[in-house]
A and B are shown apart, each in its own frame.
Chain A
Amino acid sequence: GAGVSQSPSNKVTEKGKDVELRCDPISGHTALYWYRQSLGQGLEFLIYFQGNSAPDKSGLPSDRFSAERTGGSVSTLTIQRTQQEDSAVYLCASSFGGGASSTDTQYFGPGTRLTVL
């Protein structure tokens, strides 16, 4: 079946603009994760959604970052008033389960490369 897909694959924006990044998880996966991969910070957890539970937002770097997951499927990561330090590859992953003690394999999408000029 289809894997995790992300769009756009590349996004160039100007400092101060808002951007939306989309993630389509694998069908039937209840958990969805966002990570960021940057030269300075490596791979960082941002946020994760598990079923109907409140999302774990503990990794979001500032209140300019938000995410939602509609209908338990597609997720959108929004960055408001982008800054140059937001430039990174944003990775989405999904897993079949994702509860407190889950170790279900996370399947990663190819990422969205964000460049803030």
Chain B
Amino acid sequence: AQSVTQLGSHVSVSEGALVLLRCNYSSSVPPYLFWYVQYPNQGLQLLLKYTSAATLVKGINGFEAEFKKSETSFHLTKPSAHMRDAAEYFCAVSEIGGGNKLTFGTGTQLKVEL
């Protein structure tokens, strides 16, 4: 069974600083990979997804993620944090050929400080 590990349940950065949220997957075959964001009292919104095309994926709101097979990672980055980026971020995988059901990580709460 595939799984996702997000290191760091809470990450705090200063406004304007680099954002790095870590995600590692466990799967014998590289899966499809996703990052979702959840703002307070709202549903999940897709930031970006990797579907075995380009390994560097650009998403909305200036976020991007790079798929690294050798490291089984799909870390999310943003060069310069903004206050509005404060939210909870979830990494997720779906198994190729297994339908579109998602397996989520435990989430990382991002705090952005002045």
- B50 to chain A: closest residue by CB: A103
In the complex, which of the residues B36, B49, B51, B97 contacts A100, with contact meaning CB atoms closer than 8 Å?
B97
- B81 CB to nearest chain A CB (Å): 24
What 1/0 flags go to A28-60 for Cβ under 8 Å of B?
000101010000001111001010000010110
Chain B residue numbers with a CB within 8 Å of A98 are 99-100
Determine if B43 and A109 form an interchain contact, defined as CB atoms under 8 angstroms apart: yes
In the complex, which of the residues B51, B100, B107 contacts A106, with contact meaning CB atoms closer than 8 Å?
B100
Chain A residue numbers with a CB within 8 Å of B103 are 45
* Count of interface residues, chain B, beta-carbon cutoff 8 Å: 25
For the complex, would chain B's binding face be called helix, strand, loop or mixed by DSSP majority? loop
CB interface residues, B 81-114, toward A, < 8 Å: 90, 92, 94, 96-107
Chain A residue numbers with a CB within 8 Å of B97 are 100-101
How far, in angstroms, from A43 to B88 measured CA to CA in the complex? Answer: 12
* Count of interface residues, chain A, beta-carbon cutoff 8 Å: 31
- B39 CB to nearest chain A CB (Å): 11
In the complex, which of the residues A4, A45, A97 contacts B102, with contact meaning CB atoms closer than 8 Å?
A45
Determine if B94 and A56 form an interchain contact, defined as CB atoms under 8 angstroms apart: no
Determine if A99 and B99 form an interchain contact, defined as CB atoms under 8 angstroms apart: yes
- B10 CB to nearest chain A CB (Å): 15
- A59 to chain B: closest residue by CB: B101
How far, in angstroms, from A107 to B42 measured CA to CA in the complex? Answer: 12
- B88 CB to nearest chain A CB (Å): 10
- A76 within 8 Å of B by Cβ? no
Q: CB within 8 Å of B: which residues of A?
A: 4, 31, 33, 35, 42-45, 48, 50, 56, 58-59, 91, 93, 95, 97-111
Q: CB within 8 Å of A: which residues of B?
A: 32, 36, 41-46, 49, 51, 90, 92, 94, 96-107
